[in-house]
A and B are shown apart, each in its own frame.
Chain A
Amino acid sequence: MSRVLPYPLLTASLLAMWLLLNGTSVGQLLLGTAIALAASRLMVALQPSKPRLKGWYLLPKLVAIVVADIWRSNIAVARLILRRDQSRRMSGFIVVPLDLRDPTGLAILACIVTSTPGTAWVEYSSTESKLLLHVFDLVDEAYWIDLIKSRYERLLLDILT
């Protein structure tokens, strides 16, 4: 299992991508399988850290929360951009202390935070576990820190360990 298929999920998604791009037929299935197997063997040389998904059943909840949040902040940021008076809005940097240490979790959190309009991940210090965040509409610093920590980080901690 581990020698032939070191990363079963990666192999499956590569095969799915191949079939999506080339159309489904027996020949493409064989070729795609061969390429997916070879590519996932190559991944072994890179030795990525293997995340342990303990609470994988929480993943749909995370995705739903993120999609809804991105939609809401899209509307909010669009309003702010179109507002006539730009000087009323404050934007600035905040520092968020994080409990999350797992590299995979941090990567997911970074993607969530950055792809949400209104917040952008700027810098992370792994020695201090502090995150520097730029917030577009900085009304209340505590609100944003609480949002990151209780809405995303809590769930990611539950999923990963």
Chain B
Amino acid sequence: MTMDLPVWAALLTGFLVLLGAGLTLIGTIGLLRLPSFYERMHAPTLGSTWGTAGILLGSIVFFSVMQSRPILHEVLIAAFVTATTPVTLMLLARAALYRDRTEGSTAVPRRFSSHQEDAG
């Protein structure tokens, strides 16, 4: 199927895709192993930053060499993932903090004295 692909491109694509998949897997292993929620919160960012970037770069290399024109759909996905992951994580962190505080947990810091209007 991919006979006309040069070896360097195959090696580069393979390396990038494996790098991305490996980082994503390490991130999810973190999700499994880490003891508390706030620590686990850091783990999936591996998959959503360089995990995604690795696979997208591999795909850019592959499709550019195969069809000898740059494919820019990946840029769209990259931009979208970069813009959305922080938002979801921030919302989740705040929701978890809110829940822990209403339950009176001592593991989380108390709220800043004057609250209500938050940015971000």
Asked whether any CB of A lies within 8 Å of a CB of B in the complex, the reply is yes
Chain A residues with CB below 8 A from B23, complex form: 74, 78
Q: Count contacts on A: residues with CB < 8 A to the other chain.
A: 39
Is A103 an interface residue when CB atoms closer than 8 A count as contact? yes
Assuming the A-B contacts A20-B76, A117-B45, A134-B41, are A126 and B86 also in contact, with contact meaning beta carbons closer than 8 angstroms in the complex? no
Query: 1/0 contact trace for B1-41 toward A, CB 8 Å?
Result: 00000000000000000000001001101100111101101
Are B97 and A116 in contact, with the CB atoms below 8 A?
no
| Complex interface: stretch among A1-9, A105-113, A144-152 | A105-113
Do A127 and B117 touch across chains, with their CB atoms under 8 A apart? yes
B48 near A115 with CB under 8 A, answer yes
CB pair A132 B109 closer than 8 Å: yes
A70 part of interface (Cβ distance < 8 Å): yes
Docked CA distance A91–B108 (Å): 12
Name the prevailing secondary structure of the B interface residues. Answer: helix
CB-based nearest A residue for B117: A126
Choose among A21, A114, A121, A126 the residue that contacts B85 (Cβ–Cβ < 8 A).
A114
Is A17 close to B, CB under 8 A?
Answer: yes
Given contacts A91-B38, A125-B114, contact A70 B49 (CB under 8 A): yes
In the bound complex, what is the Cα–Cα distance between A110 and B89 (angstroms)? 10
Instruction: Name B64-102 residues within 8 Å CB distance of A.
Output: 72-73, 75-76, 82-83, 85-87, 89-90, 93-94, 97
Chain A interfacial positions (CB closer than 8 Å to B)? 17, 20-21, 70-71, 74, 77-78, 81-82, 86, 91, 93, 95, 103, 106-107, 110-111, 113-128, 130, 132, 134, 136
